[in-house]
Amino acid sequence: MLTNKQDVVKPHLISIVGAGPGDPELLTVRALRRLEQADVILYDALHGTDILDLATPHARKIYAGKHYQDGQHQTERQDRIHEQLKQFAHEGKRVVRLKAGDPFIFGRGAEELAFCFRENLTVEVVPGITAGLAAASCFHIPVTLRNANSMAMFYTGHKRNGGFENMDEVAAVLRANAPVMVYMGLKNLILLGKELMQRKVPTDTPLQIVSRVGHPDQQLFSTQLDEVEEFLSKHDPPMPAVIILGTKAHQIKADTFV
């Protein structure tokens, strides 16, 4: 059976790509290759233009991100992204959905992947370095430490229904000497600290803040749990920021293992 050439659509591939924290040198090799191969890039907001500059010059770049309190209706925004993925795939385009950090950590990568499955679109996920791990590296903080802690937690500082979720579990992790990396929690940090101290988390628990992880204007701040309110009255860490909490959330030193 002969097929009309106009009916032939070239193979497509949607790549949901983690861009890492913002430094182009922290991209994976696969992420770089997908940028070089892309026809269309739907990109997030939390990384700079340097990463986009690595894409092939002919790629169409479309902003699909969000900023804190930018007025977008997030369900409508996500639906629009889904429709764009479907549209460009049906046009035979190679699409990169470029997401800050890792697609599966406090992003909507899972929603986008599920949509592609429902629509029978060819899709892959390319992991990226998440901001929490990058922030810990900036401070030389080991996320796990032999003979000290054997777990870690990623946590969102967003409130739902007027309060934080899983606070008892967060406090238990901190009391077990394991670190908690808090995303999107700067505006609620004072309240978060009070809730943790009410759950018997030591008041002198170290607290580190990394603003704009992986960007040239990255800033590092240090305080402790019971001094957060005073600290924030004197300092204004830029967003986005990652907060690292924990008894072991301080820099490795030469005598750490001595």
Report the chain's C-alpha Rg in angstroms: 21
CA distance 7 to 119: 19
Residue with tokens 């402790």: 224
Long-range contact pairs involving 88-93 (C-beta distance under 8 Å, separation at least 24)? 88/12, 88/39, 88/40, 89/12, 89/14, 89/116, 89/119, 89/121, 89/122, 90/9, 90/12, 91/9, 91/12, 92/9, 92/10, 92/11, 92/12, 93/12, 93/39, 93/40
CA distance 179 to 205: 10
Name the helix (H) or strand (E) containing 238.
Answer: none
Quickly count: other Cβ atoms within 10 Å of residue 185's Cβ.
Answer: 23
Structure tokens belonging to residue 90: 């049906």
- Among 24, 12, 38, smallest CA distance to 216 is for 24
Q: How far is CA 236 from CA 42, 84, 219, in A?
A: 31, 37, 11
Catalytic residues: 44, 66
CA distance 53 to 197: 45
What is the β-pairing status of strands 180-183 and 40-43?
unpaired
